[in-house]
Amino acid sequence: MKKLMILSAALVLGACAQPAEKASMASVGQPAPQISLPEIVSGGVKAVNGWGDFKGKAVVLEFWSPDCPPCVENMPHLVKLAAEFKGKPVVFLSAALAPKAEVEDFLKTNKLPGIVAADTPVPLLSAFRGNGIPHTVLVDANGVVAAITYPSYVTEKTIDDLLAGKKLDIAGDM
């Protein structure tokens, strides 16, 4: 009987914890989960310590890895978009799920715009509903998730709409 009571209590407590877990997951229209990226490889900052670092700026957050062929195939698209929006209030943030040395080697022959982080923890990808890479999240200037998608679905119009504060109509939105 005692084992049954303990099991029942564990099930109740587990069920109670689920809403809090879901609240920390990214959802379109909700504040973005907190972000911390201490291992910056390039981009002119020492670390990313939350959305306050980008106050007033939209963010194109790209989860990737140098050894991921679809990730590398999408890089020219993102580089082009970053060039088109240079000087606008949008930050391109590439969060690599790879060690710093591997990312540095990749950057020797590949240019990436914006801030490039290495050693991104997998739970951060999961918090943004990522089940694989590449995985793109658009966050508006107020720190609210505007879209969760695939990098090739992000267009110039998408970023224009993001900057204008419009609701995004984007293919692949999760």
The residue extents of the domains of the chain are: 26-164
Tokens standing for residue 43: 């981009």
pLDDT of residue 38: 95
Place of tokens 């799920």: 97
CA count, 13 A, side-chain hemisphere, 151? 25
Quote the pTM value: 0.84
Residue 47 has pLDDT above 80, yes or no: yes
Its CATH class, for the domain covering 26-164, is: alpha beta
B/e letters for 139-170, b = 16+ CB within 10 Å, e = fewer, are bbbebbbbbbbbbeebeeebbebbbeeeebeb
pLDDT at 143 over 60: yes
CA angle 92, 135, 80 (to 5 degrees): 40
pLDDT per residue over 108-130, tens digit each? 999 899 999 999 999 999 999 99
Residue 96 and residue 75: Cα distance in Å, rounded? Answer: 12
Residue 20 pLDDT class (50, 70, 90 cuts)? very low
CB 56 within 8 A of CB 88: no
Distance from C-alpha of 67 to C-alpha of 10, rounded to nearest angstrom: 41
Among 17-31, 33-47, 72-86, name the one with the lowest average pLDDT.
Answer: 17-31
- pLDDT at position 16 over 80: no
Does 145 or 8 have the greater pLDDT score? 145
SS3 annotation, 77-117: HHHHHHHHCCCCCEEEEEEECCCHHHHHHHHHHCCCCCEEE
pLDDT of residue 46: 94
> Residues with Cβ < 8 Å from 69, sequence gap 6 or more?
none
pLDDT for the residue numbered 10: 34
118 touches 102 (CB < 8 A): yes
Please give the pLDDT value at position 169. 84
